[in-house]
Amino acid sequence: MMWDAGLILAAYLLGSIPFGVAVARAQGGVDLRQVGSGNIGATNVLRVVGKGAAALTLLGDIGKGAVAVGLGRLLKVSPTLLAVIALAAVVGHVLPVFAGFRGGKGVATTLGVVLAAMPAVGGLLLVIWLAAAGVWRYSSLAALVASAALPGLAWWLDGRRPMVGMSAALFFIVLVRHRENIVRLWQGREGKIGQKTGGSSGPMVQ
């Protein structure tokens, strides 16, 4: 039990690493939480600092989720514990202890944990996001479309109850974190990918 709790805590701490804050400070000399949308994800880094910094942030946010779940798989934990580890990593990104609990929207880290836990599902998730982003040019809308598809993909391609439950919980987290984006989308005020505005586009890259 203590070992399980330690793995969950480690996943949360990994998820809490604020790559966007570190990259924006190192490459742009800015506090990401005080500029643009204030979000610590790669979408805000893209607007404020640039493409290279956004790519580094994206890789970091995906990687920390993949590493957390990969460690669980390496240790051959149960599917239930693996699902909890994955959720802990995403919660860490959303509510990071290392950034005053002001985190991102969880989509890149969601992609990381899904790629590590269910590679086929993660691959399709990425394809769906890229297709939606290419058609509509809204990162937030692409994130919502992809995450909405996640529970069904998990049921279809994996079938394990803990993985399906985890996927539904991840969709809920992404949906809640995008509630302001949903309002802006409805009102036609949402910023498109790469658009340098004060608004926030939601992420597969946040």
Q: Which residue type, as a one-letter code, is found at position 11?
A: A
Choose among 42, 162, 65, 51: nearest CA to 122.
65
Distances in whole angstroms, Cα of residue 179 to Cα of each of 42, 84, 140, 173, 175: 18, 24, 10, 10, 6
Asked if 37 contacts 43 with a C-beta cutoff of 8 angstroms, the reply is: yes
- Give the CA-trace dihedral at 108, 90, 150, 63, to 10 degrees: 40
Would you give the end-to-end CA distance of the chain in angstroms? 33
Longest CA–CA separation in the chain, Å? 49
What percentage of the chain reaches a pLDDT higher than 90?
Answer: 76
DSSP letter assigned to residue 141: H
DSSP letter assigned to residue 119: H
Residues 117-133: tens digit of each pLDDT: 999 999 999 999 999 99
**Concatenated DSSP letters of 100-117:** TT----SHHHHHHHHHHH
58 pLDDT band, cuts 50/70/90, is very high
66 pLDDT band, cuts 50/70/90, is very high
Identify the pLDDT of residue 192: 85
Q: Which residue type, as a one-letter code, is found at position 70?
A: G
Asked if 202 contacts 109 with a C-beta cutoff of 8 angstroms, the reply is: no
| Domain layout of the chain by residue ranges | 2-187
Burial class, 168, CB count within 10 angstroms (exposed 0-12 / middle 13-18 / buried 19+)? middle
Residues 170-205: tens digit of each pLDDT: 999 999 999 999 999 999 998 887 665 443 333 333
The residues, ordered by sequence, that sit 6+ positions from 56 with a Cβ below 8 Å of its Cβ are: 19, 23, 27
